[in-house]
Amino acid sequence: MKKVAPLAAPGHMGVDYEARVDFDRLRKYRIGRAKDALNSSECGAFLLFDFYNIRYTTQTWIGGALGDKMTRYALLTRDGGEPMLWDFGSAVRHHKLYSPWLKEENNRPGMLGMRGAVAPSAGLMESAIKEIKSLLVEAGVADMPIGVDIVEPAFLFEMQRQGLKVVDAQQFMLDARVIKSIDEIMLLNQAAAMVDGVYQNIVDVLKPGIRENEIVALANKRLYEMGSDQVEAINAISGDRCNPHPHNFTDRIIRPGDQAFFDIIHSFNGYRTCYYRTFAVGSATASQHDAYTKAREWMDAAIDTVRVGVGTDEIAKVWPKAEDFGFTDELAAFGLQFGHGLGLGLHERPIISRLNSLENPIEIKAGMVFALETYCPASDGVSAARIEEEVVVTDSGVHVLTKFPSKELFIANEY
């Protein structure tokens, strides 16, 4: 693989003596990409409920507790329109004070029902859509389709009742978000660097007697101490839970000779990781070593295939077929030999797998950032190896962001 210059993973602070993340540049890049996507579409406006699309266009964030309540939304109208944001309660006043890139009058209180807790019959959705329609008329785009990314059925039905033609905006927004700027890449690299450190904390305590949930607690604590703004999930899988992969954690006590793998998913300034590592506890069997070696070979083959101009089908083809590692078909094995874009969202474009990429490939481009995941069950019937690397695609080659050692099976606290 061609070597490329290392990417910066600087400290959390802005300083006067190094060029670090330029947040003004980041905000301009993101809203510029969103406006370009809108202006190239058939839509007169995008109405956005997806938390990540709202952050991408308005540069605002109020925390994960409200991320699935469908009560904050943003409107972007074409040809020079500035983003408007309807937000939760006092967050509106906070944006007016601390988010000067949004026009003050474009910060509005919004409340649609908290996923039906207030019934649609109360009229909140009806009045909100009337307000949106008036803004579309004012912008001269009321006769054009309006793109929506995700939506509650009751809200969609009310939009249609009021005469709006609704189309899909999510495809356009995912296309806008697929190419990362230098600032986005720096934040993704910083997020990965934080997980590098957490894995060192994990291997220090990965000994018989510790429980999976204790590892999860440790990882959450360390990430928040280091500046994470959201720990989305920590998978902790050990021993006979490794095969099949359950994608969760329990209170299982880790025992001598276990194989254990972890996935750390968090975000720094919104930009996420998906970062698996596999360890043996104290010692490893030949079966465990063999499984890890295969998972590593599949990973290296995938990374070696990645370059500008390659199709995602070419990457997927280097991975084993589902039947080759114990599954009936690609749908049943989905997510085990797998690639997915990383950014503000955990699963962005490109999605790489034998399930979708062989017939519908996407061209790899410079500026894409994605994770590659492999999984190999061991011949002992219970152990398994899971590896994940995050990569940045550049014109001169591929850069791996995930640095914790993974070329060979790492034996924690070897006897």
Residue 5 has pLDDT above 50, yes or no: no
Question: For the chain, what is the mean pLDDT?
Answer: 95
Q: Which amino acid is at 68?
A: D
Whether residue 140 sits in one domain with residue 49: yes
Average pLDDT for residues 12-36, to the nearest whole number? 92
> Virtual CA dihedral for 96, 97, 101, 103, nearest 10 degrees?
30
**Region 275-294 average pLDDT:** 98
Q: Does any domain span residue 15?
A: no
Q: Which domain holds residue 68?
A: 23-177
**pLDDT at site 145:** 98
Q: Are residues 375 and 388 in the same domain?
A: yes
**Partners of 167 in the beta sheet?**
147
110 Rama class: left (phi>0) / alpha (psi -120 to 50) / beta:
beta
Residues 338-366, mean pLDDT to the nearest whole number: 98
Specify the CATH number for the domain of residue 58.
3.40.350.10
Q: What's the confidence (pLDDT) of residue 414?
A: 93
172 plus 197 within the same structural domain: no
Asked whether residue 50 carries a pLDDT value surpassing 90, the answer given is: yes
Of 199, 185, 131, residue with least CA distance to 159: 131
Work out the average pLDDT over 27-46: 97
In single-letter form, the type of residue at position 394 comes to T
- Are 166 and 191 found together in one domain? no
Identify whether 220 is part of a domain.
Answer: yes
The answer to the question of residue 2 being in a domain is no
Task: Name the pLDDT band for 9 (thresholds 50, 70, 90).
Answer: confident
pLDDT of residue 6: 53
Tell me the percentage of the chain whose pLDDT exceeds 90: 92
Domain edge (last residue) among 124, 151, 177: 177
Q: Kindly state whether residues 189 and 145 are assigned to the same domain.
A: no
CA 123 to chain centroid: 34
User: In this model, does residue 67 exceed pLDDT 80?
Assistant: no
Region 257-265: mean pLDDT is: 98
Q: Is the pLDDT of residue 4 over 80?
A: no
pLDDT score for 390: 98
Is it the case that residue 1 has pLDDT exceeding 50? Answer: no
The pLDDT confidence band at residue 2, using thresholds 50, 70 and 90, is very low
Using the predicted structure, report yes or no on whether residue 257 has a pLDDT greater than 90. yes
Q: How many domains does the chain have?
A: 2
Condensed to tens digits (0 to 9), the pLDDT of residues 92-150 reads 999 999 999 999 999 999 999 999 999 999 999 999 999 999 999 999 999 999 999 99
- Domain boundary (177, 203, 223) is at 177
pLDDT tens digits for range 175-227: 999 999 999 999 999 999 999 999 999 999 999 999 999 999 999 999 999 99
The confidence score (pLDDT) of residue 52 equals 96
What CATH number corresponds to the domain at position 352?
3.90.230.10
Does residue 235 share a domain with residue 98? no
For residues 341-369, average pLDDT: 98
pLDDT bracket for residue 410 (50, 70, 90):
very high
Question: What pLDDT, on a 0 to 100 scale, did the predictor assign at position 298?
Answer: 98
Given 111, 146, 177, the domain boundary residue is 177
Q: State the DSSP string of 232-283.
A: EEEEEEEGGGSSS--SS---PBP-TT-EEEEEEEEEETTEE--EEEEEEES-
CA atoms of 52 and 35, how far apart (whole Å): 15
Q: Is the pLDDT of residue 13 over 90?
A: no
- 363-388 mean pLDDT: 98
